[in-house]
């Protein structure tokens, strides 16, 4: 999912990955998803944030 290999996932990357998988996700929906997981408020999902989110589920 980290298309630019910066160690974080952006809303734009989520949109691109969804499209590659045949799904259509709006930028707004992707941004809302990022916001749910983004603990430090930088607008991106880090590996630590992703891991914490997955472990809490």
4-54 pLDDT, tens per residue? Answer: 999 999 999 999 999 999 999 999 999 999 999 999 999 999 999 999 999
- 15-27 residues labelled b (16+ CB within 10 A) or e (exposed): bebbeeeeeebee
Overall domain count for the chain:
1
Q: Is 40 contained in some domain?
A: yes
pTM metric for this prediction: 0.87
Cα gap 41→57, rounded to integer Å: 20
CATH code for the domain in which residue 21 is found: 1.10.238.10
Q: What residues pair up with 9 in beta bridges, in sequence order?
A: 45
Cβ contacts of 45 within 8 Å, gap of 6 or more: 8, 9, 10, 34, 37, 38, 53
In a domain, 19, yes or no: yes
Domain membership of residue 3 (yes or no) is no
């Amino acid at each position: 999912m980290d298309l630019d290999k910066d160690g974080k996932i952006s809303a734009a990357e989520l949109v691109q990955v969804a499209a590659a998988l045949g799904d259509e996700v709006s930028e707004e929906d992707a941004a809302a998803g990022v916001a749910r997981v983004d603990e430090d408020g930088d607008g991106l999902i880090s590996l630590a944030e992703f891991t914490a989110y997955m472990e809490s589920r």
